[in-house]
Structure 1
Amino acid sequence: MADTALPRSPLGPAADRLAATTHASGGAVRLAELPFLAQIDLRLDAKGTAADAVGLALGLQLPLEPNTVVRAGELTALWLGPDEWLLVGPAGTQRDLESRIREAAGDEPVSVTDVSAQRTTLLVAGPRARDLLAHGCALDLHPRAFGPGRCAQTTLGRTQVVVVARDEPRAGFWVLVRSSFAGYLADWLLDAATEYI
């Protein structure tokens, strides 16, 4: 018998509490889960021919500057290391992304891994979003240091995360967290957000 169960979000049970915090803070902090985003870990030689071919196939050039983000349409590429990127796209697009990358790379050595189930994404937005994240993050989150188009692997509330400053200041941040730590981090954010309620 085929498994027909729908995927369950790691933060599904916390959705109401996240929304309640948004309302209680009067919009000063907005918390929500963006579940099931496609996430592909890509490793290749940034100076090799595959990098250009893959960029062309995806419709974006992979960011080469450390801790930067390139976005084209609904696809976002995060620089994680000199030869590693995380591609984030709409839910259900992981197979398409994988096949486009492999076809574009041809015989060039690449590593393409679907890590969509590994993490979930929390949206942290609102006028006090930076302040909220600063409670448990060692990064300098001031817009001059960590403005739109920046990303970093760091810890937030003692949890390893990837933080992404979205394209516009009002768009807030994505916090990509491992699914097994998502509940803990949501509780931590909800507790830290009580200051703004």
Structure 2
Amino acid sequence: MAEPYAESPLATYTEVLSRHSVPGRIDIAERPFVAQVDVRVDPKSPAAERIGTALGAMLPNQPGEVAVAGELSVLWLGPDEWLILGPEGSQETIQDTVNAALDGDHAAVVDVSANRTILSITGPKTRELLNKGCALDLHPRSFAVDRCAQTMLARAGVILVCRDTQLPSYWVIVRSSFARYVADWLADAAVEYGSGSG
């Protein structure tokens, strides 16, 4: 039997992203194969509380909140929807953990790891770069560490996650079908930072 083979949506873009990164200013890279599990459950149900206990972090109940438990991040996507991010290959473990916590209660637990990829953008020019195509106020007072938002970046729907306000560092979670478009846009938007200006 043949071994399963997976290729990230931006496997052929590694060199492009590296070439458009500018040491000391901005670094753009793909974070491929991050486990992603979508969970929909009544937030007021005992099942939601059991899921939080099993994961080690209660499901966030405020818009844009991100709960962190070890290597897992739980992103609030809606009043009854969360996206759990984990290390590569951990999606089955995450699903098993959530399903066991449900104890037969109604919920939807879906592995969506192949649906999106993640672009990591880090460096002093990160907010400036993102604001070229995103209308969100990314100042740390408005968009702090462990905050997320479903928004538009260069006309593509993405989930933006603030990882660090000091560097700063963000994750752009984008559907696989839009990954190359967003990567091309980021590479083009980053060109000026290699010119010696700004």
TM bucket, shorter chain: over 0.9
Residue in 2 that maps onto 1:54: 51
1:105 aligns with 2:94: no
The one-character-per-residue Cα deviations of 1:14-35 (angstroms, maximum 9, x if unpaired) are 101111222xx23211100000
Q: Report the equivalent of 2:126.
A: 129
* Paired position in structure 1 for 2:135: 138
Map of 1:10 onto structure 2: 9
Q: Which residue of 2 aligns with 1:64?
A: 61
Question: For 2:173 and 2:114, how far apart are their aligned partners in 1?
Answer: 12
Q: 2:117 aligns with which of 116, 120, 127?
A: 120
Identity across the alignment (%): 49
| Structure 1, 4-13 or 132-141: larger mean CA deviation | 4-13
CA distance in 2, matches of 1:114, 1:5: 17
Paired amino acid for 1:10: P
Matched to 2:193, the amino acid is Y
Q: CA RMSD in A?
A: 1.1
- Tell me how far 1:170 sits from its aligned partner: 2.0
The alignment status of 1:74 with 2:64, answered yes or no, reads: no
Give the residue type in structure 2 aligned to 1:44.
V
* Number of positions where the alignment pairs a residue of Structure 1 with one of Structure 2: 194
Per the alignment, residue 148 of structure 1 pairs with 145
When the two structures are superposed, what TM-score results if normalisation uses the length of structure 1?
Answer: 0.95
Does residue 192 (structure 1) correspond to residue 166 (structure 2)? The answer is no
User: Helix, strand or coil for the counterpart of 1:170?
Assistant: coil
CA contact (8 A) 2:164 2:170 kept: no
Whether contact under 8 Å (2:36, 2:111) holds in the other structure is: yes
Give, in whole Å, the separation in 1 of the partners of 2:165 and 2:50: 29
| Equivalent position of 2:156 in the other structure | 159
Q: Is the 8 A contact 1:124 1:174 kept in 2?
A: yes
> Structure 2 length normalisation: TM-score?
0.95
* Amino acid in the other structure paired with 1:137: C
5+ residue gaps, structure 1: none
* 1:58-93 Cα deviation digits (max 9, x unpaired): 111111111111111110000000100000000100
Task: Kindly report which structure 2 residues correspond to 1:19-34, keeping only aligned pairs within 5 A, or say none.
Answer: 19-22=18-21, 25-34=22-31
Match of 1:38 in 2: 35
| C-alpha contact (below 8 Å) 1:37/1:120 kept by paired residues | yes
Q: Deviations over 1:104-152 (max 9, x none)?
A: 1112111101000000000011001001000000111111111111100
